[in-house]
Structure 1
Amino acid sequence: MPKLLPEPMATAMDKPQRFAAAPYQFGSHFERRAARSHPAQPLVWAVVLTFVPLFWMVTVAWFARMVF
């Protein structure tokens, strides 16, 4: 019996996807969260980023004063 229709061409899904982009390659690796989880979060960060270095500077200054 003669073939009436030609063989369908191989699609991209039939070929091996050796260099295909992984689904996780271009997006964020973390789940999406709200922009700010708590209204006071910027204030907390400001306090932490101000007083933690200040604490260590005072500690180093106190240690230098006591030892040297």
Structure 2
Amino acid sequence: MKTNTSAKAVSENAIDSERSSVVLSALFAVMFGAFFVYGAGFANSSNLHDTAHDTRHAFAFPCH
């Protein structure tokens, strides 16, 4: 009886740990995405173009 109860507690702890990991990852992704959306929204368009242009060349994609 005692081992069954402790196994259940370990299982519940694993589920709680996994759930908190998923929530933390989702929160980080939302904050990271919001940072990029607002950062791109307030950036100068020529700066965005130059950054995209340099990134394409860094990955060896021709752009013109």
**Larger RCO (alpha carbons 8 Å, 6+ apart):** 2
Question: TM-score surpassing 0.5?
Answer: no
Larger radius of gyration: 1
TM-score, normalised with respect to structure 2: 0.42
Relative to its length, the structure with more helix (as a share) is 2
TM-score normalised by L of structure 1:
0.40
